[in-house]
Amino acid sequence: MKTKNKIVLAIIIITIIFINKVDLRGKLNYSNESYKQEDKISDENSNLLLVNKSNPISEDYKPNKLVKPKVSFLKDTKDESRHMDEVAANALEELFKCAKKEGIILIGSSAYRSYESQVKIYNENVLERGIDYANKYVAIPGKSEHQTGLSIDVTNKSRCFDKTSIEAQWLANNAHRFGFILRYPEGKEDITGYNYEPWHIRYVGKEHALKIFTDNITLEEYMKMI
C-alpha cells in the first residue's frame, strides 16, 4: 500500500473510533427505562434490539451464540458471514425449507458481521469509492444491524433480488411466518434511515413480526408502540 493511502486509512480509522465513542456515550443511554437495549439482550425482548444510525450498538457487542444455519450460501460468502444468532438461524432454516417447498429457491448472501469486519468493509469502500459513497451505502461500524446476528441479506440464483423477482415478493409476503421482517421497506426510508432493501431480513420473533407485517410498520415505529 502506498504511504499516502496508509495515512488516509489511519485518519479514517481514527475518525471512526472517535465518532463511535462520541455516539456511544451520547446515545446508548435510552430514555425509556423499561427497554435498555443491550442490558436486556438475554431476556425475551432480546430479539427486538434496535440498531440504526441513531442507536449504535457497542463495539464489543457479540450475539449470545452464533451458529451456521444449514442453508446454502453464495460461494464467495465469508465464513464469519455464514453465522447467525442460534434462534434466528433455526428460524431461517425453516424459512428456506418452506420457500423451497413453495418453489422459491433462496440463497444466503451475508449474515453476521463483527464490528471489526464492518470497519474493514467501510474503510475499503472509502479508499475505493470515496467517503460520500461509503457514507451512503455502507453502515458505519456500530450502526450495522448485521452485528446483532439477527439479520441476513438473501439473494436468488440470478443474484438479481429486486422487488420484481418472485423470490423478493415471496420473502416480503412470507418472512413474518418465520419471525422475520423486511427491515428496510420501500417508502419508509425517512424512518429507517436506509434505502429500500428487499434482500435484508431481520429476526424479531413470530409474534412481533406478525404485528409489524400486519400494521405495515418498521421496527422503529413498533418500538415506540410497545
- Residues 112 and 63 sit within 8 Å (Cβ to Cβ): yes
Task: For Zn ion, give the closer residue by CB, 20 or 110.
Answer: 110
- Residues 118 and 139 sit within 8 Å (Cβ to Cβ): yes
Could you list the residues that contact Zn ion (CB under 5 A)?
153, 200
- Residues 144 and 113 sit within 8 Å (Cβ to Cβ): yes
The enclosing H or E element of 107 equals: strand 107-110
Task: For Zn ion, give the closer residue by CB, 176 or 183.
Answer: 183
* Closest separation in Å from C-beta 218 to Zn ion: 15
* Closest separation in Å from C-beta 196 to Zn ion: 12
Task: For Zn ion, give the closer residue by CB, 20 or 118.
Answer: 118
Q: Is 197 a catalytic residue?
A: yes
Task: For Zn ion, give the closer residue by CB, 87 or 139.
Answer: 139
* Closest separation in Å from C-beta 10 to Zn ion: 28
Exposure string for 191-226, b = 16+ CB within 10 A, e = fewer: ebebeebbbbbbbbbeebbebbbeeebbbbebbeee
User: Catalytic residue among 80, 93, 197, 220, which?
Assistant: 197
* Closest separation in Å from C-beta 26 to Zn ion: 25
Rounded to 10 deg, the angle between the 115-129 and 3-27 helix axes is 130
From the list 15, 29, 79, 32, the residue with the least C-alpha distance to 58 is: 29
Q: Which residues are catalytic?
A: 197
